[in-house]
Structure formats: structure tokens, C-alpha cells
Amino acid sequence: MQGLFTTACFPPVSYMAEALRTDEIVIEAMETYPKQTIRNHYSIFGPNGKHTLSIPVIKTNGNHTLTRDIMLSTHQPWQKIHWRSIETAYNNSPFFLYYQDQISSLYEPKFKYLLDLNMEILATIMRIFKIRQPVGLTDSFEKIPAMASDFRDKFGIKKNSHDFIYPHYTQVFESRHGFIAGLSILDVIFNLGPEAALYVKGINTVQTK
């Protein structure tokens, strides 16, 4: 089964759980780019609780810009700002030192387009998980896709965290704020390390009557 997903910057854990249940991940590249979504936002668990990071982007054709044409802004050093936040959040996590080089390399200013960055992030996650799964891009936009299960509207910055059952795991600042579920995949990687993939695969959706 193909699964059709939006592009995502360090996607939420639930996004990856659904993606790993498909036979092939297809990323939507031809939609008109919407703002305030997981395409350029992701949440980590810092000393003050949940913290959402936003990648500044440039719409080359205004509100009619396709996702594939969204450029990364160079007007501010967001890469350094984001990495500093990640270090503050996860420096004391069990697997930060093990994965920091792989993750920090993604914050080097070498990408021109958001989609290229996000595709490399997804490839890095798959390497960390030691999973080989086909990943492709759409070449046209279909409002109702004929050949894939459509997950494009399922995941958001806030709306999807209550639709899944998240088993507990230890988080760095849990003693201050309690367990926070549904964060970026970074939280699972740095806290669970080699067990992260098994954790993600074990996440189930809430059953509704």
C-alpha cells in the first residue's frame, strides 16, 4: 500500500508510525503550500516544556507557490538557533552523543529548498531506524488520489496528538512537566536510541466506536 503524506521537518512520532505501516511513502510535492504546518514546524521537549521550532521559508510565487518551490530563508541563522535549542533540550538524553553528528549535519546551510531538506531528514530517520522503504515524490496534484491512502490532512502541529496511543518512555525534563506525547521524532531518537523504531511501530491509533 502506498501512503501519501505531506512533507515534514522532523515529523511527529505519529506521522512516522503511519508511514512505517505503508509499503511505500509518497511525499506530496505539487500542492499549493499552506502555512503553519508540520512542513516547516516541529516540536521538541525543552526545559520549559513543549517548544515548537519554525523554519523560515520564502514563497517564490506568493500564495500560489508549490511545495516543491518553497525556498529556505537565509535572512537569519535559523540553523544555529534551532541546533542550540536541540542541544539545550537533549544534551542530557541517553543517546544525544551517539546521534548528534548525523542530526547536526542537517543544520548545515547546504539546502536551498525546504523539500530537499525534509527529504534528507526523512532519509536520515530511515537510516537511524535501519529501515529500507521506498520513498517518492508526486509529479502532479490529485485532490483524491486513486492509488494511495491519503494521510495529507491527518497530521498537524496540534490536532493529531490525541488520535494515537503513546506508550510512556523517559524524557529528559519529564520530572518538571510530566510526559509529553506526540512530539517530533527527535524526542524518541535521542531518548530511546536503537529502540526508537520499535517504539514508533508500536504506536496505535485510538479506536473510536
**Where do the structural domains in the chain lie, given as residue ranges?**
2-205
Average pLDDT, the chain: 94
Type of residue at 155? F
Given a cut of 90, whether residue 158 has pLDDT beyond it is no
Given a cut of 70, whether residue 156 has pLDDT beyond it is yes
pLDDT-derived band at 161 (thresholds 50, 70, 90) equals low
Order of all β-strands in the sheet with 24-28 = 135-137, 24-28, 2-6, 148-150
Residue 137 forms beta bridges with which residues?
A: 27
Type of residue at 186? L
pLDDT-derived band at 207 (thresholds 50, 70, 90) equals low
Cell of 123: 532519509
Cell of 96: 544525544
Exposure class string for 41-78: b at 16+ Cβ within 10 A, else e = bbbbbbeeeebebebebeeeeeeebbbbbbbbeeeeeb
Given a cut of 50, whether residue 209 has pLDDT beyond it is no
pLDDT-derived band at 208 (thresholds 50, 70, 90) equals very low
SS3 assignment, position 38: coil
Q: Is the separation of the CB atoms in 102 and 86 below 8 Å?
A: no
pTM score: 0.94
SS3 assignment, position 18: helix
Residue 71 forms beta bridges with which residues?
A: 58, 113
Distance CA 141, CA 144 (A): 9
Mean pLDDT within 63-81? 95
